[in-house]
Structure 1
Amino acid sequence: MQIEASNRTAAVAGAWASFGLVPFERWMTQHHIDSVLAHNLLWASAATVFFILPLYFLVLGHGSEPFRRAWFIDPADSARYAVTAKRMLAWFVSAGIVGSLWSSALSLLAK
């Protein structure tokens, strides 16, 4: 089954990033890790699972081609760019809304 990137999947990717990275950041601040390598590997693995892979598959799309340098001259490339920009905006807004609500909820639960 091929995943098709859309505004809905972009919003899900933003929510997924917030649901995963907000508690992970809280966990990292509570558990001090002495090794810089272990600290960086943990952040890299969390960023891969919650940020990079969903961004690639759910926002940009697996089969998307890179934009040419003169994408703004070609109407077809401009339309493709607009679709991608709208998906990225949906991803960003979803991550911001869910992240602020999720962070507030976790702060209330911690008290």
Structure 2
Amino acid sequence: MFFSKMASSSLDKKDLEIFQSLDQENYGRELARKAKGEFTLGEVNDGMGPHPVLITFESLEEFVEWLANQNDQSMSLYTVSSFNNQTISKIRLKYYLDNNYNPGWNSYCEYLRERR
């Protein structure tokens, strides 16, 4: 199941500036291959979801091929409600796949501080 991305042409001036500043380098197969489990992309609001489900993948290889060709800019457009709101980014993927992953917000902030 594939959902159409939001068109960047529909963004207002402020959102377009944000969009243009996002990383355009693809995530690549090395990062994508580290994923395990079920492969679904959907919106999550305040811990509820994913709803709606935007994309599902039937196999690991299908998912890897898709994710390897995504980047922060392209991922910001997968939404039905709000541009670039809590979207997946390369740094979030790396944090989630890190051996010391902790779902707490403070842990994520510390992870970001350590990489600056």
TM-score with structure 2 setting the length:
0.23
Larger Rg: 1
Higher relative contact order (CA 8 A, sep 6+): 1
TM-score with structure 1 setting the length:
0.24
